[in-house]
Structure 1
Amino acid sequence: MADIPSTARPRSSAARVCTILGFVFAVLAIFLPPLIFGVLGVILGIVGAVLGDKPLGWYAAAASVVGALLGMLLFAALVNS
């Protein structure tokens, strides 16, 4: 059996920090300016995924998009009520 080298990067602590911050910014995007925190969360989630925290980094990026959309909907509902 031949050894096939793995192309996946090992998970680093920087990747985990970026991923966690991506989730934090996803939650903050609901209550604070959603465009700013949503974009920052997406960027940090992608950086976390590229650095080696593959599934959670992409989940953080997706959660940031959802958080930004919820934040915009909440803001629109509060302004129009």
Structure 2
Amino acid sequence: MTTPQHPGDNPDRDPPRYPSPPPYEPLAPAPREQGPPTLTIIGAVCAVLALLLCPILFGPAGIVFGYLAHKKGEKFGKWVAVASAVALVLGLIVSLIVYNR
């Protein structure tokens, strides 16, 4: 019987070359404070103003506020961004109809 030439050839006698790291528990995400949905409210106001007053200014602002609210974790942030985009398009159409008479 021959003995192994290299230290890792006999798994019964030799310790593993690279021991596995000890298991760690994953870090829990930090809890977020539940405050008022400020960005969602600002985005909704911008959507209404885009429909009624100045769609070029308030439409993109509402989209940005809705996106930021969605990234922050607010419940209706995504829908405010969509509503602002729709209000932007409808506001442009209404303004073209009103000013081209």
Q: What is aligned with 2:98?
A: 78
- Larger Rg: 1 or 2? 2
Higher share in helix = 1
CA deviations on 1:18-67 (whole Å, 9 max, x unpaired) are 0111111000001111011001100100110111114x000000000011
Q: TM-score, normalised by structure 1?
A: 0.79
Q: What is aligned with 1:13?
A: 35
Matches within 5 A, 1:24-39: 24-39=45-60
Q: TM-score, normalised by structure 2?
A: 0.65
Name the structure, 1 or 2, with higher relative contact order (CA <8 Å, separation 6+): 1
Q: Cα distance 1:24–1:71, how it changes in 2: closer, same or farther (>3 A)?
A: same
Tell me, in whole angstroms, the C-alpha distance in 1 between the residues paired with 2:43 and 2:60: 9
Structure 2 unmatched ranges of 5 or more: 1-25
**Percent of residue pairs identical:** 32
TM-align CA RMSD: 2.2
